[in-house]
Amino acid sequence: MSHHRFLAHTIRIAAPIQPCQRFFTPAGEELWVDGWRPSYLHPADGRTERGMVFTTGAGDDLTIWSLVDFDTEAHCARYTRVTPSSRSGFVEIRCVELDAGSTAVTVSYTLTALTPAGVTMLAAFDAPAFADMIEGWRVSIEARLPQLLAASIR
């Protein structure tokens, strides 16, 4: 079993690059991820900015996130995430304009197991499972696209 995984998958979103990048911020994900309710520690209002810190989950699923880089010109973001009971790693989002109305979004996870539970989790987190997860994101975004495009995401 591997103690480390790098997985990446690209989806196409029928939205311009500027709003599309905001769909993948913590506040943006609140609009399309069922049950996604971050607890914002800094800044407390959940404003997306480099250095923000928030948590998700509880108990063994408690995850501490930090936004390491958020570049609105290069259209990328990089987060650290630590779930102390199992794993640590990075999540990176890169947006590339395909045309005025569509964006390619590449999501990558780099995860390392911290515990035996993390080793088990990573064993099940393979390329097909990851692609299915990210494709599910695309389906959720497409289902809410008019509302997302109308929203002012912080």
Question: In angstroms, rounded to a whole number, what is the distance separating the alpha carbons of residues 13 and 104?
Answer: 6
Tokens representing 29?
């994900």
Please state the pTM of the whole predicted model.
0.94
Give residue 1's pLDDT band: very low, low, confident or very high (50, 70, 90): very low
Q: What is the pLDDT of residues 38-87, one digit of tens each?
A: 999 999 999 999 999 999 999 999 999 999 999 999 999 999 999 999 99
Sequence-ordered alpha helix ranges (H) in the chain: 17-23, 26-29, 116-124, 127-143, 145-150
Residue ranges per domain, the chain? 4-150
Structure tokens, 115: 């515990």
Q: What is the average per-residue pLDDT within 90-119?
A: 97
Closest CA to 147 of 30, 4, 9, 18: 30
Architecture of domain 4-150: 2-Layer Sandwich (3.30)
